[in-house]
Amino acid sequence: MTTTGTVLDDIIVGVREDLATRRDAVPEAEIDRRARAAAPALDAAARLRGDGSTMGLIAEVKRSSPSKGALAEIPEPAELAATYAASGASAISVLTEQRRFRGSLADLDAVRARVDVPVLRKDFVVEPYQVLEARAHGADLVLLIVAALDDVQLRELHDLATELGMQALVETHTHGELERALALEADIIGVNARNLKDLTVDLGRAADLLARIPAGPLAIGESAVASAADVEAYAAAGADAVLVGEALVTSGDPAGEAASYRRVARRGRPQPEGAHA
């Protein structure tokens, strides 16, 4: 554990160790070359926006989590991703963090080769190498967690993703983090109901933050989805889409579950007093 002792800090220590191993195997100059030689990225924002009538869905390939432990074996991530895509998922999220989530870049490769919808590399991105790596492995979208980055790092990683033709899902958990995402002029802002520092979940807090996102950026609700009723709650708070993993992989019917989320009507963003103009 790190001196601060949060779950997020602990995860990032492992992420940096694993990153060092990969960088030794593939130098940065080579991963940069591969990233810039990759096929053009797909427009994830456009797919998530759709026609604006129903909720977008980022369906996640998720084997495990720090809060729940093992969720599903998923021996064939590409097959699950294809099921999601056939059920109307706007994008596929692939966890590549290996210690807590049992993911890998091999999963990302398999999914990218199988589906024609945008793919998110979901990991704890703290260095430019990981953004290059995401593009080199075919990701169209990369997760940037505001809580894990200072403003200089956040801007650098966001700019690099943009330069490579990708988009960034800029994830927030607090009012302060949302202010930073808005200052970045991020096109896609996530609000995670799970606090990554202690793993508690508060959908009410997430709803309050979502309502404070102005018209323009796409707003993505993350975590705390167990059923279509929770997707309805996110829609009522102004989310344009949801990112869901656990409920899908443990449902026994990921196709039916994903389709039920996609049928939820989008409601638009309420603008309470004190929200941004």
Output the pTM of the full model.
0.93
pLDDT above 80 for 112: yes
The rounded distance, in Å, linking the Cα atoms of 58 and 89 is 6
DSSP-assigned letters across all residues of 96-114? ---TTT---HHHHHHHHHH
Give 122-143 pLDDT, tens digit per residue: 999 999 999 999 999 999 999 9
* Residue of 75, 78, 88 whose CA lies nearest to 115: 78
* Cβ–Cβ < 8 Å for 192, 200: no
* Cβ–Cβ < 8 Å for 191, 176: no
- Structure confidence at residue 200 as a pLDDT band (50, 70, 90): confident
pLDDT above 90 for 65: no
Give 85-101 pLDDT, tens digit per residue: 999 999 999 999 999 99
pLDDT above 50 for 276: no
Give 48-63 pLDDT, tens digit per residue: 999 999 999 999 999 9
The rounded distance, in Å, linking the Cα atoms of 249 and 61 is 7
Residues facing 191 on adjacent strands: 172, 221
Q: Any idea where the domains of the chain sit in the sequence?
A: 7-263
pLDDT above 80 for 4: no
* Cβ–Cβ < 8 Å for 35, 136: yes
Looking up tokens 């990218």 gives 112
CATH annotation of 7-263: 3.20.20.70
pLDDT above 80 for 277: no
Element (H, E) at 63: none
pLDDT above 90 for 32: yes
Give 229-255 pLDDT, tens digit per residue: 999 999 999 999 999 999 999 999 999
> Which residue type does 191 have?
V
Instruction: Give the whole-number percent of the chain exceeding pLDDT 70.
Output: 96
pLDDT value at residue 271? 60
Residue 125 burial (C-beta neighbours within 10 Å; 0-12, 13-18, 19+) = buried
Residue 2 burial (C-beta neighbours within 10 Å; 0-12, 13-18, 19+) = exposed
Most confident of 183-187, 194-198, 268-272: 183-187
pLDDT above 70 for 212: yes
Buried/exposed code over 34-50 (b: 16+ C-beta within 10 A; e: otherwise): ebeebeebbebbebbbb
pLDDT value at residue 5? 62
